[in-house]
Amino acid sequence: MKLKALAFSLLLGLSAQSAHAFVSLPETGPLRITGSNNPAADPLFLGFDWNPADNGYTRVARRISSVIYDGTDIGTFYDYVYRYTDGTLAFASRFELDIGEIDTGAFAYETEINDILRRGYAGYDVSVGWYDSGSDSDMRLQSVAHSNGVRTRPTNPVDVFDDNVVDFRTDVSVEEENPTTGWYVLKTNATEFTYLVDAVTIRQAPSLDGVSPPLRTATFEGFAPVTAPVPEPETYALLLAGLGMVGLAARRRKQPY
């Protein structure tokens, strides 16, 4: 909401030293970690001066794509992959909305992003944080969970654990003057990544006043972790045999004639 974004931006100059570490996502008990308008109290906020390059991360991939609702290009999705000094990967993403309203002919509705679902994280250790891009319009990460629950009105459902999905909850809206997210980061223990056609889904929840449709979604491509393949026994045996032949050839070349 506009007031939330305003309250957060007013605190930028008051809490410049506030910083936190990445937070691990629970797998049992209360699943959702909730942020705060107060940066000093927000467990998900990494800090105003935080950026990957200054914290041991090197960018290894990026994709920039359009956000499409009802055939209309309403904004931009930024998806980056970073490698930490220990070889593990972090996935950072950000949304920008340019269009505040879509007219379908039958009706018009305001465009929002309320949930960002990232898929492909089953079996990995996942921790989360977010940082400000430097824009005055960035919306904070309101909450996050290993869950695929659909946001409803006027209340939200109980989260059900889904190891494969990470749900970022936010409130991005041009009409409410917070048209962009900050950078939402997933830190993992993965060392390899791939590109999935259904890696990202965004959802717009129903409005309390009933202006928007019951539920609007869009799914598109994005990066996700992947486990490096383990050689089959036959392949591994052939590999060892090949290395043995290379070693034998090397020894023969060293023998005097």
Q: How far apart are CA 168 and CA 147, in angstroms?
A: 9
164-204 pLDDT, tens digit per residue, is: 999 999 999 999 999 999 999 999 999 999 999 999 999 98
Residue 194 belongs to what domain range? 2-230
Residue type at position 8: F
Q: How close are the terminal C-alpha atoms of the chain, in Å?
A: 83
Domain count, the chain: 1
* Bridging pattern class, strands 138-139 and 180-181: parallel
Q: How far apart are CA 168 and CA 163, in angstroms?
A: 14
Domain annotation covers residue 180: yes
Position 184 scores a pLDDT of 98
In the three-class reduction of DSSP (H, G, I as helix; E, B as strand; rest coil), residue 71 is classed as coil
Domain annotation covers residue 70: yes
Position 215 scores a pLDDT of 72
Average pLDDT of the residues of the chain? 83
For residue 221, what are the contacts with CB-CB under 8 A and spacing of at least 6?
Answer: 63, 65, 195, 196, 197, 198, 199, 200
Domain annotation covers residue 142: yes
110-169 pLDDT, tens digit per residue, is: 899 999 999 999 999 999 999 998 888 899 999 999 998 766 666 667 899 999 999 999
Domain annotation covers residue 42: yes
- Predicted confidence (pLDDT) at residue 82 exceeds the cutoff of 90: yes
Q: 10, 3 in Cβ contact below 8 A?
A: no
pLDDT > 70: percent of the chain: 75
- Predicted confidence (pLDDT) at residue 7 exceeds the cutoff of 60: no
Could you say which DSSP state residue 164 is in?
A: T
More confident residue, 27 or 70: 27
Q: What is the pTM of this model?
A: 0.81
Smallest CA-to-CA distance from 203 within 116, 83, 104 is with 116
Domain annotation covers residue 205: yes
For residue 13, what are the contacts with CB-CB under 8 A and spacing of at least 6?
Answer: none
Q: What is the mean pLDDT of residues 2-23?
A: 53
Task: pLDDT band for 221, please (50, 70, 90 cuts).
Answer: very high
Q: What is the mean pLDDT of residues 85-110?
A: 91
Q: What is the mean pLDDT of residues 55-80?
A: 94
Q: How far apart are CA 64 and CA 94, in angstroms?
A: 10
Beta-carbon count within 10 A of 70 CB: 14
In the three-class reduction of DSSP (H, G, I as helix; E, B as strand; rest coil), residue 89 is classed as strand
Task: pLDDT band for 240, please (50, 70, 90 cuts).
Answer: low
Among positive and negative, which fits the CA dihedral 229, 230, 234, 240? Answer: positive
- Predicted confidence (pLDDT) at residue 14 exceeds the cutoff of 60: no
Q: How far apart are CA 217 and CA 201, in angstroms?
A: 7
Position 2 scores a pLDDT of 42
In the three-class reduction of DSSP (H, G, I as helix; E, B as strand; rest coil), residue 235 is classed as helix
- Tokens for 16, please give them: 């410049």
For residue 256, what are the contacts with CB-CB under 8 A and spacing of at least 6?
Answer: none
R_g over Cα of the chain = 22
Q: What is the mean pLDDT of residues 16-24?
A: 73
Domain annotation covers residue 251: no
Position 232 scores a pLDDT of 56
Domain annotation covers residue 48: yes
Alpha-helical (H) ranges within the chain are 2-10, 233-254
Q: What is the mean pLDDT of residues 93-102?
A: 94
21-46 pLDDT, tens digit per residue, is: 999 999 999 999 999 999 999 999 99
